[in-house]
């Protein structure tokens, strides 16, 4: 199931507040599909041969993303035809962006002077239409947040205390967001056009090649017979799928349609089975090499090569999946769930015969390690995917299949691309008003300059922001005030952004929005909110990762010996945490044992020798206590 189909599925189930994608037939369907294929093809061309100009690179992406979103997504439930109003909005966007591209140098040179009325009207129209595109795909929350930011820029002189600023006239607010490189057609648009779009197309080609089914078969072949096998297979397959997906919701709908029924069949409760899928799929946004839109924005914000972000993310991502897997295993032990029979599992030999399909992933990594740009590496990986597809008749990609993959790439990208204008408005307005500095100062004051309290406040803010926003806008908003607050206390920029990034991604499992949890609950036939809170429990390790980033060299910012030691202690911490959260180790934990496990987990989040030795010692003490209790129970039985 591709991303556009995921959105339709989630909309039909009431999972997301946006509306379904239109289904066109006849000449209209052919025209829209051709436009989607040309859109993908153009950016593959520029990724290989280089961009024509900065303004065309940004303008065409913005114009096509917003225009196609208005055509493909309904303004309200019902109705397949594109209305006169929709065509008017699309025409306005096309004309405005063509004007912006043609007049780019003039508009840039006129910055600082009062804008012409025509420029102000065009800019205002583009802003409003961008918010409408965001509303159609994600609902009212993101446009409402943008409107609040725009109002804040205007009413600054009338606000009290730390929020007060001098205020700006309407023309200046519009000009800053429409013309400058800090607004809608600036950094965010460049990241989307240069990196995210090409990687989404790459994912569409991989999907067509049969790699997703290979991931599922490999996970079942390796873990299916273990205790609670389908749950562990779900964690493993979601981790593999996350390497090429970068979208938790797409991951849920792709793998969950198969693994959730299996988990229910071996005895998992529906809400727990759905929560396993949601929590595991969330880790897909942490798993390199394709970590979703927010990771590319992180690399751009920190001016860090994307391959460096990939390198430092590998160990934290594996730890996250290890924590989810440990909780799933302990739940299976606690409820006596068995694995699948050998006859129900795909044979290892058949999996190995198709393992060559995995080659595009190391290709993209090797190219980036050797200094090639991420988008050029993605194009090379796409070519590799097409070549490998010819090894088997059932996966062979001819002109028709390539055409379909290009169309799917564009349609999948619109879920994020429709937000390019809205995110640009948030970014531009914050920079215009200096709001991030004010909010970071407020965070510092409230925390008393105590670093753990600052992180705790960011965690709380991330939970609140994530209740209404997807991961990418949540990360953008949190980074604007969270990163400066951490930087004031001496936290390196990359570490600060990694903390905010990990906190922001939790939005896909935290109720009431919780897109991944709701999608999984719909598949499992479970209560959505019970699933959401179960997902938060299973994914709770992500709330500890910021402290590992701060107090250990887990981000590869130490010597080899220090990094190895931090990996070992982090593994011990996740075992202790999983046992404490589940209330089970060898047998059900007693209250004092559970308290000691929580203490051990927190102690192991610090790199000091005293805390490491004490934490490992407490963990071993509780394990021995559990094994003795298990023997006593066995003798009594």
- Comparing 24-33, 92-101, 154-163, 283-292, which segment has the lowest mean pLDDT? 283-292
Asked if residues 420 and 184 have their Cβ atoms less than 8 Å apart, the reply is yes
In 3D space, the residue among 22, 64, 20 whose CA is nearest the CA of residue 42 turns out to be 64
145-196 pLDDT, tens digit each: 899 999 999 999 998 888 888 889 999 999 999 988 888 998 889 988 988 8
pLDDT above 60: residue 18? no
As a whole number, mean pLDDT of residues 120-148 equals: 92
Confidence class for position 347, pLDDT limits 50, 70, 90: confident
For the chain, the first-to-last Cα distance in angstroms comes to 49
**What integer best gives the mean pLDDT of the chain?**
86
39-62 pLDDT, tens digit each: 999 999 999 998 888 899 999 999
Confidence class for position 78, pLDDT limits 50, 70, 90: low
500-544 pLDDT, tens digit each: 999 988 877 877 667 788 888 888 888 887 888 888 899 999 999
| Radius of gyration, alpha carbons of the chain | 25
Phi-psi region of 510 (alpha: psi -120 to 50; beta: other; left: phi over 0): beta
pLDDT at 1: 44
Mark 270-298 as b/e (b = at least 16 C-beta within 10 Å): bbbbbbbbbbbbbbbbbbbbbbbbbbbbb
pLDDT at 90: 96
Query: Which range, 30-44, 356-370, 402-416, is most confident?
Result: 30-44
The whole-model pTM stands at 0.86
- CA triplet 437, 555, 474: central angle to 5 degrees? 40
pLDDT at 518: 80
pLDDT at 313: 92
As a whole number, mean pLDDT of residues 609-619 equals: 93
As a whole number, mean pLDDT of residues 76-93 equals: 86
Contacts of 47 (CB under 8 A, 6+ apart): 194, 198, 375, 376, 378, 379
pLDDT at 512: 66
C-alpha dist (Å) from residue 395 to 171, 348, 401, 495: 54, 19, 10, 41
395-449 pLDDT, tens digit each: 888 899 999 999 999 998 888 889 899 999 998 998 899 888 888 888 888 888 8
Contacts of 101 (CB under 8 A, 6+ apart): 55, 56, 59, 60
Beta strands in 36-192, from DSSP E residues, in sequence order: none
C-alpha dist (Å) from residue 156 to 163, 167, 176, 341, 618: 7, 5, 16, 66, 54
pLDDT at 12: 46
pLDDT above 70: residue 602? yes
pLDDT at 199: 87
C-alpha dist (Å) from residue 114 to 120, 176, 178, 393: 10, 11, 14, 63
Q: Is the dihedral of CA 619, 625, 627, 630 positive or negative?
A: negative
255-308 pLDDT, tens digit each: 777 788 888 887 888 888 888 888 888 888 888 887 777 888 898 889 899 889
The DSSP string of 44-84 is HHHHHH--S-HHHHHHHHHHHHHHHHHHHB-SSSS--SPPH
pLDDT above 50: residue 4? no
pLDDT at 246: 64
DSSP helix/strand/coil, 296: helix
The CA distance from 252 to 519, in Å, is 7
pLDDT at 79: 61
Phi then psi for 445, rounded to 5 degrees? -65, -45
In 3D space, the residue among 454, 430, 425 whose CA is nearest the CA of residue 442 turns out to be 454
pLDDT at 180: 84
In 3D space, the residue among 175, 24, 38 whose CA is nearest the CA of residue 114 turns out to be 175
């Amino acid at each position: 199931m591709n991303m556009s189909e995921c959105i339709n599925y989630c909309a039909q189930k009431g999972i997301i507040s946006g509306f379904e994608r239109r289904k066109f037939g006849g000449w209209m369907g052919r025209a829209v599909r051709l436009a989607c294929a040309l859109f993908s093809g153009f950016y593959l061309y520029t990724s290989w041969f280089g961009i024509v100009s900065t303004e065309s690179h940004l303008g065409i992406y913005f114009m096509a993303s917003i225009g196609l979103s208005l055509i493909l997504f309904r303004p309200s439930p019902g109705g397949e035809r594109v209305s006169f109003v929709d065509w008017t909005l699309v025409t306005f966007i096309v004309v405005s962006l063509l004007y912006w591209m043609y007049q780019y140098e003039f508009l840039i040179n006129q910055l600082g002077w009062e804008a012409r009325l025509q420029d102000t009207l065009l800019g205002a129209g583009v802003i409003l239409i961008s918010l409408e595109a965001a509303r159609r795909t994600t609902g009212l929350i993101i446009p409402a947040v943008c409107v609040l930011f725009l109002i804040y820029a205007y009413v600054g002189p009338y606000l009290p205390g730390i929020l007060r600023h001098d205020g700006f006239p309407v023309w200046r607010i519009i000009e800053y967001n429409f013309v400058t490189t800090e607004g809608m057609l600036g950094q965010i648009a460049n990241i989307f056009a240069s990196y995210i779009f090409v990687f989404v197309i790459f994912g569409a080609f991989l999907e067509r090649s049969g790699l997703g089914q290979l991931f599922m078969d490999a996970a079942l072949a390796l873990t299916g017979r273990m205790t609670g096998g389908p749950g562990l297979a779900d964690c493993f397959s979601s981790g593999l799928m996350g390497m090429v997906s970068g979208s938790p919701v797409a991951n849920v709908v792709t793998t969950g349609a198969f693994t959730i029924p299996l988990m229910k069949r071996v005895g998992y409760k529906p809400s727990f089975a759905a929560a396993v899928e949601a929590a595991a799929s969330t880790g897909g946004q942490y798993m390199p090499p394709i970590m979703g839109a927010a990771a590319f924005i992180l690399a751009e914000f920190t001016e860090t090569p994307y391959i460096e972000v990939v390198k430092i993310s590998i160990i934290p991502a594996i730890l996250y999946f290890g924590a989810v897997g440990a909780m799933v295993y302990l739940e299976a032990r606690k409820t006596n769930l068995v694995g699948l029979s050998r006859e129900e599992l795909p044979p290892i030999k058949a999996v190995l015969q198709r393992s060559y399909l995995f080659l595009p992933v190391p290709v993209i990594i090797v190219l980036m390690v050797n200094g090639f740009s991420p988008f050029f590496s993605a194009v090379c990986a796409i070519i590799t995917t097409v070549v490998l597809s010819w090894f088997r008749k059932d996966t062979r990609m001819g002109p028709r299949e390539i055409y379909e993959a290009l169309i799917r790439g564009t349609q999948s990208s619109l879920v994020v691309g429709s937000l390019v204008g809205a995110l640009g408005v948030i970014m531009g307005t914050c920079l215009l008003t200096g709001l991030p500095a004010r909010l970071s100062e407020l965070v510092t004051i409230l925390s008393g300059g105590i670093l753990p309290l600052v992180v705790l406040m960011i965690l709380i803010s991330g939970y609140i922001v994530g209740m209404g926003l997807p991961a990418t806008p949540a990360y953008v908003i949190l980074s604007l005030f969270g990163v400066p607050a951490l930087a004031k206390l001496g936290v390196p920029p990359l570490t600060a952004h990694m903390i905010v990034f990990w906190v922001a991604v939790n939005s896909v499992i935290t109720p009431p929005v919780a897109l991944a949890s709701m999608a999984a609950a719909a598949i499992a036939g479970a209560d959505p909110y019970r699933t959401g809170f179960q997902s938060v429990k299973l994914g709770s390790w992500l709330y500890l990762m910021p402290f590992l980033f701060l107090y250990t060299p887990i981000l590869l910012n130490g010597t080899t010996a220090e990094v190895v030691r931090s990996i070992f202690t982090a593994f011990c911490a996740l075992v202790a945490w999983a046992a404490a959260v589940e209330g089970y180790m060898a047998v059900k934990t007693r209250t004092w044992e559970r308290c000691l496990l929580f203490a051990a987990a927190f102690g192991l989040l610090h790199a000091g020798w005293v805390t490491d030795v004490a934490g490992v010692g407490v963990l071993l003490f509780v394990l021995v206590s559990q094994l003795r209790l298990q023997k006593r129970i066995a003798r009594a039985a």
